[in-house]
Amino acid sequence: MVSLIYHPRYNVTAFGLERLHPFDSRKYQRIQSVLIERGLRRKSDFVRPSPVRRSDLLKVHSPDYLRSLESSDLLASILEVPIVRRLPSWLIDWRVLMPMRFASGGTILACRLALERGLAINLGGGYHHAARDWGGGFCVYADIPLAATILHEEGLVRKVLVVDLDAHQGNGTAAVIRDWPWASILDLYEEDLFPSRKEPEDYPLPVPAGLTGVEYLEIVDAVLPEALDTFRPDLLIYNAGSDPFVNDPLARLRLTRNDLAERDLLVASLARERSIPVAMVLSGGYSSESWRIHADAIEGLLTRFDRD
Ligand SMILES: [Zn+2]
């Protein structure tokens, strides 16, 4: 049975931030509610992570960077929310950063459970614009490289492939894992979006605005099998951003809800056919339908993989 990881503390509800697009406070909770309403899971089936500890964060972030997060000015620029500048840092830590540490803990747990169950989904995480000494685009902690290196250090995995299908380049993830020969990234992103300076990657797949779902899925289907067979990872961390959606305000790709569900099923199927465990994280998605897109895609994954 597929593991689902979630904690009520994922949801940012503070100072009206939840009404700003990056912090749809109801997104994660709504996904959980829909999966329960549809009879796919009971509330008690969701596994609750602990927040990531500072000692773990230091495996990928510098002490200076973690210290700099105590500055409201820096956080306001990472989170792109000017009002944060006027708030005391302890309050931001408790109401904004702590939810992100819970969700980062969820990514680590998803990777552990993926090794046991084959497929595990964290209903959050995927902060792929955060690197060792910098953050950006609402991303503070580099949860994907962190989870990868923890499992690698413990000897649980030898090689990790990150598949990043969020509409934006996973520049933070790419920058952290560049020096790790045991980790690699395949990244399909819209070329004209944030970040303006792209990071070098092993399998970069820049695509133009306006790409349709059919074209998008053809690319994934053509490239991912070869990457899996060449790199032969023993864990795939899938950054499943929903912002390639046609109505997403921050991107201009043209995937429908069905295309996105098909995409997630395709990635998971290609990996599972090769017995590669998959840990999926949700990452970006800024339309009002983002929660429904993820809920539908997760329903497709549970229907297909729960019996495995
Ligand atoms: Zn994105």
- pLDDT tens digits, residue range 192-214? 999 999 999 999 999 999 999 99
C-alpha distances (whole Å) from 148 to each of 12, 23, 66, 177, 225 are: 25, 25, 19, 9, 21
Measured in angstroms, how far is the CA atom of residue 154 from the centroid of ligand 1? 30
129 in active site: yes
C-alpha distances (whole Å) from 99 to each of 28, 106, 239, 278 are: 11, 10, 18, 23
* Contact between 64 and 133 (Cβ < 8 Å): yes
Tokens 């904690």 belong to which residue? 7
Whole-number average pLDDT of the chain: 94
The predicted-structure confidence for 136-179, as pLDDT tens digits, reads as follows 998 999 999 999 999 999 999 999 999 999 999 999 999 999 99
CATH at residue 9: 3.40.800.20
Measured in angstroms, how far is the CA atom of residue 218 from the centroid of ligand 1? 20
Residue 93 confidence (pLDDT):
87
Q: Looking at 10-24, 77-91, 294-308, which range is the least confident one?
A: 10-24
The predicted-structure confidence for 236-266, as pLDDT tens digits, reads as follows 999 999 999 999 999 999 999 999 999 999 9
What average pLDDT does range 263-290 have in this prediction?
A: 96
- Range of 19's domain? 3-305
Measured in angstroms, how far is the CA atom of residue 243 from the centroid of ligand 1? 6
In the three-class reduction of DSSP (H, G, I as helix; E, B as strand; rest coil), residue 106 is classed as: helix
Q: Of the listed 129, 152, 168, 294, which one is catalytic? A: 129
Residue 191 confidence (pLDDT):
98
* Contact between 138 and 22 (Cβ < 8 Å): yes
> Parallel, antiparallel, or unpaired for β 160-164 and 235-239?
parallel
> Parallel, antiparallel, or unpaired for β 119-122 and 235-239?
unpaired
**Which one-letter amino acid corresponds to residue 174?**
A
What average pLDDT does range 272-288 have in this prediction?
A: 95
**Is the confidence at residue 25, as pLDDT, over 70?**
no
The predicted-structure confidence for 119-137, as pLDDT tens digits, reads as follows 999 999 999 999 999 999 9
How many domains does the chain fold into? 1
Measured in angstroms, how far is the CA atom of residue 206 from the centroid of ligand 1? 13
Residue 145 confidence (pLDDT):
98
Residue 75 confidence (pLDDT):
85
How many H-runs (helices) and E-runs (strands) does the chain carry? 11, 7
Tokens of 253: 């790709």
Measured in angstroms, how far is the CA atom of residue 179 from the centroid of ligand 1? 24
* Contact between 190 and 253 (Cβ < 8 Å): yes
The secondary structure element, H or E, covering residue 161 is strand 160-164
The predicted-structure confidence for 49-63, as pLDDT tens digits, reads as follows 999 999 999 999 999
**Is the confidence at residue 22, as pLDDT, over 80?**
no
Q: CA–CA separation, 123 vs 105, rounded Å? A: 11
Measured in angstroms, how far is the CA atom of residue 205 from the centroid of ligand 1? 15
Measured in angstroms, how far is the CA atom of residue 272 from the centroid of ligand 1? 25
Residue 18 confidence (pLDDT):
65
Q: Looking at 4-18, 195-209, 210-224, which range is the least confident one?
A: 4-18
Percent of the chain whose pLDDT exceeds 90? 83
pLDDT category at 23 given cuts 50, 70, 90 is low
* Contact between 282 and 294 (Cβ < 8 Å): yes
Q: What is the dihedral of CA 148, 153, 154, 158, to 10 degrees?
A: 70
**Is the confidence at residue 21, as pLDDT, over 90?**
no
What average pLDDT does range 24-41 have in this prediction?
A: 91
Measured in angstroms, how far is the CA atom of residue 307 from the centroid of ligand 1? 31
Measured in angstroms, how far is the CA atom of residue 270 from the centroid of ligand 1? 23
C-alpha distances (whole Å) from 139 to each of 15, 131, 178, 207, 305 are: 19, 9, 19, 23, 30
